[in-house]
Chain A
Amino acid sequence: DTGVSQNPRHKITKRGQNVTFRCDPISEHNRLYWYRQTLGQGPEFLTYFQNEAQLEKSRLLSDRFSAERPKGSFSTLEIQRTEQGDSAMYLCASGDVHEQYFGPGTRLTVT
C-alpha cells in the first residue's frame, strides 16, 4: 500500500535561493492538492490539479510560487527567491475532496 510520498522531507535554504519540492500521489488519484502549514495552524490550501490541469490557485500563492503536474502524475512546487516567511511545512494530498490523503510533508526552513 503506497501512500502519498514527498521529497525531500526537510530542506534548509538561504534567503533568496530557489527550492523545488516533489509529490508523488496515490497512483489512481486524478486530483492532487498542495497545502502549507505553519506552527500551531491548520493546513492552508495553495493549489489544486485535476490530472495535469491546474484548476485553482489560492491568493497565498504569490508570483514566486509555481506548481506543475506534467502528464498528470507527480507534481512539483517551486519557490523562487525564498523569504523567511516561506518557512513552513508544505503538504501534498491526493484523492477526492472529502477523502484527501496527505503525504508526510516537506519542512522548509529559510535562514
Chain B
Amino acid sequence: QKEVEQDPGPLSVPEGAIVSLNCTYSNSAFQYFMWYRQYSRKGPELLMYTYSSGNKEDGRFTAQVDKSSKYISLFIRDSQPSDSATYLCAMSESSYKLIFGSGTRLLVRP
C-alpha cells in the first residue's frame, strides 16, 4: 500500500464547475501538505501548502486538511480550461523529503 493515495482520474468537468480533488494517506507523522499542478511535460508548480490541520484559501483555490481522517482536499472554484492539468498532492513529515501522490488528471471542458 502506498503512503499517499490519489485517484488518477481523469476527471472531466464543464467550465465554471467546482472541482474537488482528494488524497488519503497512512502516515500520521505527516505535518506539511502541498498541492502541485503539473502541465504535460513540465515540472510541478506549487499551488499552496498547509501546515497541520485546517483550511487555506488562495483565490479560486481552497485546501483542506483533516488529520483525524488522514484526508486532504483541494477545491477549485469557477474552473477554467486553463486549469486542465495533473494535480499532485504531496506531504512531508521531515525537513526535506516530499511524498507525492500519483496525480489526478483534470480536464475542464469549454
A residues near B (Cβ < 8 Å) are 4, 6, 31, 33, 35, 40-45, 48, 55-56, 91, 97-105, 107
Count A-B contacts at CB 8 Å.
65
A67–B41 alpha-carbon span in the complex (Å): 23
Please, which residue of chain B has its CB at the minimum distance from the CB of A104?
B43
Q: Nearest Cβ in chain B — how far from A102, in angstroms? A: 4
Chain A to chain B: the 4 pairs with minimum beta-carbon distance, closest first: A42-B100, A102-B43, A98-B32, A48-B96
Is there contact, CB below 8 Å, between A98 and B96? no
Q: Would you give the 0/1 interface string for B2-43, flagging 1 where the beta carbon is closer than 8 Å to chain A? A: 001010100000000000000000000000101010000111
- Which residues of B lie under 8 Å from residue A33 when comparing CB positions? 96-98
A63–B58 alpha-carbon span in the complex (Å): 43
Interface residue B81 (Cβ < 8 Å from any Cβ of A)? no
Query: Interface size (B, Cβ < 8 Å)?
Result: 27
- Contact of A42 with B43 at beta-carbon distance under 8 Å, contacts A31-B96, A55-B96, A56-B97 already known: no
- Which residues of B lie under 8 Å from residue A91 when comparing CB positions? 43-44
- Contact of A42 with B90 at beta-carbon distance under 8 Å, contacts A56-B96, A98-B49, A99-B49 already known: yes
A42–B42 alpha-carbon span in the complex (Å): 13
Is there contact, CB below 8 Å, between B97 and A45? yes
Additional 17 contacts, C-beta under 8 A, given A41-B103, A45-B96, A102-B36: A6-B43, A31-B96, A33-B97, A33-B98, A40-B8, A40-B102, A42-B88, A42-B101, A42-B103, A43-B88, A44-B100, A48-B96, A56-B97, A91-B44, A97-B94, A98-B92, A105-B42
Q: Nearest Cβ in chain B — how far from A14, in angstroms? A: 23
Is there contact, CB below 8 Å, between B49 and A102? no
Please, which residue of chain A has its CB at the minimum distance from the CB of B34?
A98
> Which listed residue, A4, A45, A97, A104, touches B32 by the CB 8 Å rule?
A97
